[in-house]
Amino acid sequence: MIIARNVSKEFNGIKAVNNISFEVKEGQTLVFLGTSGCGKTTTLKILNRLIEPSDGEITINGKNILSLQPEILRRSIGYVSQNNGLFPHYTVAENIAIVPNLLKWDKVRTSERSNILLDQLKLPVTEYANKYPDELSGGQKQRVALARALVSDPPVLLMDEPFGALDPITRANVRKEFLELPELKSKTIVLVTHDVQEAFELGDQICLMDKGIIVQTGSPEELIFKPINEFTRNFFSHQRLQLELGALKFSSIWESLTDASSSSKPSLNSNQSLWEGMEMLSEKNEETLVVRNSEDNSYKEVSIQTIQSVYLENKRNR
């Protein structure tokens, strides 16, 4: 879907992005992760030509993006900028209608589509459509920015620190809702964050960046269990246990679990992580919980002891 080859961007002779290459498959989420100033926003903006690359080639669906007019290119790419970018003097409804107006949609079509999105994003139309950005909380502003990016149903979505302005608790909750949004399931997403936990929860693939280069690209599991150098290893060291448990899904250790006959206990799905299992055990104050395999509808039983022993066993075998 998106292929970038040897892309660089120089500002005043300094390479903010230095010869990077990456791919995003259709329907997948690629996360750019790294500390401030490493080139994440620059990379994202090159993809919709808010910044022109100094070097390299990018294709989206086989088309070289430099051969398209930027305005045409941007119609197929939703963009949520780093500070949400809402127009303060436009209402929520007017902010969302910007792209439909450019596309000359009629009013009914625009409001029907906006209403569906506001509803999905838990912003009731009657309450929020006529509010101004200043009257919204940080999380609500983010949702409006997301609705605006999604309104014309673009196949590609670029998001720059979409949850950056939120406190850690709201952030975790908004992220969960985000993962469940039906509207996003089929999108190809490139997301920028400096939050390791966020990258691991949202990314199918993660590009870990440092000083304009991509140090390592891989799945969360690959980055945490197979760091290629000290930089990657150190980047994750302070949250290692949580990230390792988060990167291990019940499906990948299915055979090591005990069969369960009943599904009466609080249950998780086999594509959830050992970390989520630990959280659920402690939240519900249960000795065990039941995990359901979505493929064959079988059930397994899990306790804290099982999670510990399976985790240690897995670590030994790597």
Ligand X SMILES: Nc1ncnc2c1ncn2[C@@H]1O[C@H](COP(=O)(O)OP(=O)(O)OP(=O)(O)O)[C@@H](O)[C@H]1O
Binding residues vs Mg ion (CB under 5 A): 41
Q: Does 265 bind ligand X (CB under 6 A)?
A: no
| C-beta of residue 19 within 8 angstroms of C-beta of residue 7 | yes
Among 2, 4, 7, 16, the residue binding ligand X under the rule CB under 6 A is: 16
| C-beta of residue 3 within 8 angstroms of C-beta of residue 190 | no
Helices (H) and strands (E) in the chain, counts: 14, 14
Among 8, 41, 114, 142, the residue binding ligand X under the rule CB under 6 A is: 41
Alpha carbons 243 and 262: distance in angstroms, whole number: 30
Q: Which two tokens stand for residue 294?
A: 């979505």
Q: Which two tokens stand for residue 121?
A: 């994003």
Q: How, if at all, do strands 14-24 and 29-33 pair?
A: unpaired
Q: Does 42 bind ligand X (CB under 6 A)?
A: yes
Q: How far is the CB of 105 from Mg ion (least distance, A)?
A: 31
Q: Does 231 bind ligand X (CB under 6 A)?
A: no
Compute CA distances 244 → 152, 248, 308, whole Å: 38, 6, 12
Question: Between residue 62 and residue 91, which ones bind ligand X under the rule CB under 6 A?
Answer: 82
Q: Does 124 bind ligand X (CB under 6 A)?
A: no
Q: Which one, 42 or 91, has the nearer CB to ligand X?
A: 42
Q: What 3-state DSSP class applies to 35?
A: coil
| C-beta of residue 215 within 8 angstroms of C-beta of residue 231 | yes
Q: Does 36 bind ligand X (CB under 6 A)?
A: yes
Q: How far is the CB of 133 from ligand X (least distance, A)?
A: 21
Hey, which bits of 211-275 come out as E strands?
213-218, 258-259, 267-269
Q: How far is the CB of 44 from Mg ion (least distance, A)?
A: 8
Q: How far is the CB of 154 from Mg ion (least distance, A)?
A: 21
Q: Which one, 212 or 277, has the nearer CB to ligand X?
A: 212
Q: Position of tokens 């809702």?
A: 177
Q: Does 96 bind ligand X (CB under 6 A)?
A: no
Q: Does 11 bind ligand X (CB under 6 A)?
A: yes
Question: Between residue 184 and residue 213, which ones bind ligand X under the rule CB under 6 A?
Answer: 194
Q: How far is the CB of 47 from ligand X (least distance, A)?
A: 12
Supply the angle between the helices 274-284 and 240-247 in degrees, to the nearest 10.
100
| C-beta of residue 117 within 8 angstroms of C-beta of residue 151 | yes
Q: Does 257 bind ligand X (CB under 6 A)?
A: no
Q: Which one, 44 or 150, has the nearer CB to Mg ion?
A: 44
Among 6, 25, 26, 37, the residue binding ligand X under the rule CB under 6 A is: 37
Interacting residue ranges for ligand X, rule: CB under 6 A: 11, 16, 34, 36-42, 82, 194
